[in-house]
Each structure stands twice: as structure tokens, then as C-alpha cells.
Amino acid sequence: MQKLITALITLLCGALIIILQPAGLTSEQAWGAALVLFAILFWAAALLPDHLTALIFMLATILFAVAPPEVVFAGFSSAAMWLIFSGLIFGMAINTTGLGGRIAQTLSQRVNGSYTRLIFGIVTASVLLGFVMPSSLGRAVLLVPIAIAIADSCGFMPGSKGRTGTALAVAFGCHVPTFAVLPANVPNMVFIGAAETIHGISPGYAEYLLLHFPVLGLLKGLLIIGLILLLFPDKPQLHSAPQTSSNDNHGQRKLILVLGTALAFWFTDSLHHISPAWIGMTAALFLLMPKVGLVDSKTFNEKMNFNLMAFLAGILALGAVINTTGLGNVLANALNSWIPLNPDNPALNYASLSGTAIMTALVATLPGVPAVLTPFADQMASNAGMTIKAVLMTQVLGFSTILMPYQSAPLIVAMQLSKEPLRHAIRFCLISATLTILILLPLDYLWWQWLGWI
């Protein structure tokens, strides 16, 4: 009954948006806003299976002429989609060869029964990998199967707090703190590209790291660890090491070679400029090859998660529809006229600009923040009495503060790969975002002041 009432309220609100067309929305934008509202609330409240909501959303946008098929289904041709596909293949190979179990057994023994050490180690490893591996999606698909194997080795059964905590540690650890590392996430690179193209400003790696990592990287990572230990406490129970045959050992060595080669190409992408997705696809196709591969047709047919791929396509379609219909620009224009800026009040400017970025991310998703706000940076800088570079840097505060999982494809993918309910990520996002806004952003303001940015 609760879900039915929520669904009816959502549909009623969508109908009112279409009929009333508030804020001067065009008919196309009103339909787009109604469908976006439908998708977000149905995902957040789990009113339907995630992939079904995604498919309904994509079909409705085409039936009601909100966006053309090539925009709605662009996610299926995106690099992100095929990076996820390759990650699923990696996960199958890691499980079938027993490599995940072997790594997990080794690491879980080092944990020595300490849940704190386990969560700290997972988050730390995830963040450190962000310095050398440029794709948060790639980090998720590589680390999640290993983290779940560690959870199994520690005796964390499905539904247990320890298993949920482990999944959240790798999902948030490999994504959220690395917003403070320049090439580590897609929104970072969109931000740099937009700033250089529109304003001729290109922040350096060290400059970006010094400004953002102490608070948004280091302290945010510690916040994630502390929240997991507080909300999902548990105690590991060590199990005996699994027995593996010589064939398993041979497969493990082959898989280590394949993954090591892929990692080497991922680490050196600045030299060869090959997308991480196509590197992953090459490795995945080798693993699928008869005779020489490690994933047979039966395993592929049984384990391939097409629901996840449909869900991811829906998430990507959401952002595409927002951009194509101009809903993101409508929000940005409204916020630009509403937000209070005063050259004599730097604290107010910092709060207003970071709040604008956070609210933009809620509608336009994380990569949409720099795409939507960057064109208005010079006007905001003039109103606030700040440099354009400082105003641009406040966008990072927005796209690194995740209020809902749908804003971030890597976060969604990590939770889906771990097979943990999305409601845990929703709850964790809301709590961590609240603490970030109340504690970390004020500390970041002091750090910016000390560095002379404000």
C-alpha cells in the first residue's frame, strides 16, 4: 500500500508538471521533467525493479517525443556500457578460477579478525588505485568481485551488516574520495574540458590536488570509513582456505596475466590514448574465447547480468534527456538569478556556489554539473567578487557530494555488482552528504581561506 501511494503521488505530480508547465517550461521540457521525476522516485523508492523502471523511462521518452532514439539509447553505445560488460566478464573469471577466493583468503587472514582494519584497508586500496587507474567504473568492476570474495571469506552472509559494509566500502571508496584527484573520474575530466574550452582555464594536477584532496579526499575517506563502522558493525569469522586444483592454479595464473596486462594499459592511457573501455573489452573477449579463455558459454549465459546493463542504460539516458531538452540549463538559469552573492561576504558566496553545484547535480547528475554551470562562471565571479578559477573550483564541491545514487553511474554499478540492495546506498548517500555539508564543507572553506582562494 505504501508503494502504491508513492507511485500514485509520483504520477500525479508528473501529470501536474505536464499540464501546468511551471517555470516557463516548453511542452517537451514538461514531459521530460515529468518522466525524469518518475524515474528518480521509482528508483529511489524501489517501486519497480530498477531495470524495468529504466526501460519504461526510455520507451516513454520516445513515445512522447521527448528525445529521439539515438539520444535515449546512446548509453548502449557508450564506453561506460562496454566497460561494465568487460567488468562482468572479469568477475566471472575471478570467481570461476578461484582467484577471488585466494586473494580474499590471503587478505582476510591479514585482517586478523578486525572489521575496522578490513574496511580501512578496502577504502584505502580503492582510493590509492584512483591515482593510477583513470576510470572509476574500471576500478569498481575490478575491485567489487574481490571485495565480495573477501566478505565471503570473512563469513559475511548475504543480508549481513558486514557484507553490506564491505560493498559500501568498495563502492564509495573507489569513487567518492577520488573526485579530489584530477583524472580519476568522468566529472573531473568534463570539468577540465569545459573550463579550458569556455574560459581558457586549465587547473594543474598539483593545484587541483592541493585544493581538494585534504578535505574532499582524505577527510571524506575517513568519513566513509567511520560511517560504515557505525552503521554496519560486524565481526569477521575466518574460514579455512579453499582447495584448488592444478587446473585452477593454471587458470589463475592466466587470469593474473590478462588482468595485469589490462592494468598496465589502463595505467598508461596518457601515452597511448586508448579508452579504458576498449582495453577492458579486449581482455574480456580473450577470456570468452573457446579453448584459450576462462569463461565458457554456459557460465556466460547463467551469470551475465543484462538487468544491470539495462539499468545503466537508463541512468545514462536520464542525463541525456536532461541535457537534450534543456532542463539542466533551465535549472542553472533559475539558480543563477536566485542565488545570493555578495563581494563583501565570502562565506555566503562559498555556501551559495557550492549549494548551487549540489542542487544542479541532483537534477543533471554529476557529469552534468560542469557542463551546465561552467558557461555562467564569469557572471557568477563578477557577482561574487571572486576569480573565475575559484568559482569553477566550487563545482567540485557539488559533484563530489552525492545525495542519491542515481546521480553516479559508477556507484550504481558497484552496488549492482555486489548484489546489495540499493536502499543501503540511498541511506548512506543521504547521511554522508548531510555530514559533508554540515562538517566537511565548512572545513574546506577554512582550507580555501588558508590557501588564499577566498
Q: Model confidence over 143-166: pLDDT tens digits?
A: 888 888 888 888 888 889 999 999
Predicted confidence (pLDDT) at residue 361 exceeds the cutoff of 70? yes
Q: Comparing 93-107, 153-167, 170-184, 439-453, which segment has the lowest mean pLDDT?
A: 93-107
* Residue 269 pLDDT level (bands cut at 50, 70, 90): low
Q: How many CA atoms lie within 13 A of 92 on its CB side?
A: 24
Q: What is the maximum span of the chain, computed from C-alpha positions, in angstroms?
A: 72
Mean pLDDT of the chain: 83
Distance (Å, whole) CA 278 – CA 92: 18
Q: Which of 58, 265, 237, 258 is nearest to 162 (CA)?
A: 237
Backbone angles phi, psi at 404, to 5 degrees: -140, 145
Predicted confidence (pLDDT) at residue 174 exceeds the cutoff of 90? no
Distance (Å, whole) CA 46 – CA 405: 12
* Residue 104 pLDDT level (bands cut at 50, 70, 90): low
**What are the residues whose beta carbons fall under 8 Å from the beta carbon of 121, sequence distance 6 or more?**
107, 110, 111
Mean local confidence (pLDDT), 321-333: 76
Predicted confidence (pLDDT) at residue 239 exceeds the cutoff of 70? no
Q: Which three cell numbers stand for residue 182?
A: 584530477
Q: How many CA atoms lie within 13 A of 26 on its CB side?
A: 10
pLDDT for the residue numbered 94:
77
Predicted confidence (pLDDT) at residue 244 exceeds the cutoff of 50? no
Q: Comparing 89-103, 294-308, 338-352, which segment has the lowest mean pLDDT?
A: 89-103
Distance (Å, whole) CA 149 – CA 65: 45
Predicted confidence (pLDDT) at residue 409 exceeds the cutoff of 50? yes
Mean local confidence (pLDDT), 55-70: 91
Distance (Å, whole) CA 25 – CA 224: 39
Mean local confidence (pLDDT), 408-433: 88
Q: Which three cell numbers stand for residue 165?
A: 559494509
Distance (Å, whole) CA 122 – CA 111: 11
Specify burial of residue 31 (Cβ count, 10 A radius: 0-12, 13-18, 19+). Answer: buried
Predicted confidence (pLDDT) at residue 241 exceeds the cutoff of 60? no
The predicted-structure confidence for 221-235, as pLDDT tens digits, reads as follows 999 999 999 999 988
> Using an 8 Å Cβ cutoff, are 282 and 259 in contact?
no
Q: Which of 215, 216, 247 is nearest to 97 (CA)?
A: 247
3-state secondary structure the chain: CHHHHHHHHHHHHHHHHHHHCHHHCCHHHHHHHHHHHHHHHHHHHCCCCHHHHHHHHHHHHHHCCCCCHHHHCHHHHCHHHHHHHHHHHHHHHHHHCCHHHHHHHHHHHHHCCCHHHHHHHHHHHHHHHCCCCCCHHHHHHHHHHHHHHHHHHCCCCCCCHHHHHHHHHHHHHCCCHHHHCCCCCHHHHHHHHHHHHHHCCCCCHHHHHHHHHHHHHHHHHHHHHHHHHHHCCCCCCCCCCCCCCHHHHHHHHHHHHHHHHHHHHHHCHHHHCCCHHHHHHHHHHHHHCCCCCCCCHHHHHHHCCHHHHHHHHHHHHHHHHHHHHCHHHHHHHHHHHHCCCCCCCHHHHHHHHHHHHHHHHHHHCCCHHHHHHHHHHHHHHHHHCCCHHHHHHHHHHHHCCCCCHHHCHHHHHHHHHHCCCHHHHHHHHHHHHHHHHHHHHHHHHHHHHHHCCC
Q: Comparing 82-96, 237-251, 263-277, which segment has the lowest mean pLDDT?
A: 237-251
Rounded to the nearest 10 degrees, the angle between the axes of helix 27-45 and helix 50-63 is 170
Q: Comparing 86-100, 109-123, 283-297, 418-432, which segment has the lowest mean pLDDT?
A: 86-100
pLDDT for the residue numbered 120:
92
pLDDT for the residue numbered 330:
77
**What are the residues whose beta carbons fall under 8 Å from the beta carbon of 63, sequence distance 6 or more?**
none
> Using an 8 Å Cβ cutoff, are 251 and 154 in contact?
no
Q: Which of 240, 262, 257 is nearest to 97 (CA)?
A: 257
Whole-number percent of the chain with pLDDT over 70: 91
Mean local confidence (pLDDT), 242-261: 71
Mean local confidence (pLDDT), 365-385: 80
Q: Comparing 34-43, 187-196, 243-252, which segment has the lowest mean pLDDT?
A: 243-252
Q: Which of 348, 436, 395 is nearest to 211 (CA)?
A: 395
Mean local confidence (pLDDT), 32-36: 88
Q: Which of 60, 66, 69, 68 is nearest to 26 (CA)?
A: 66
Mean local confidence (pLDDT), 239-246: 46
The more confidently predicted of residues 449 and 334 is 449
Mean local confidence (pLDDT), 109-125: 84
Mean local confidence (pLDDT), 444-449: 94
Whole-number percent of the chain with pLDDT over 90: 24
Highest mean pLDDT among 1-5, 371-375, 393-397 belongs to: 393-397
pLDDT for the residue numbered 301:
85
pLDDT for the residue numbered 80:
66
Predicted confidence (pLDDT) at residue 245 exceeds the cutoff of 60? no
pLDDT for the residue numbered 375:
73
pLDDT for the residue numbered 40:
78
Q: How many CA atoms lie within 13 A of 8 on its CB side?
A: 5
Distance (Å, whole) CA 445 – CA 416: 35
pLDDT for the residue numbered 451:
92
**Boundaries of every domain in the chain:** 77-307
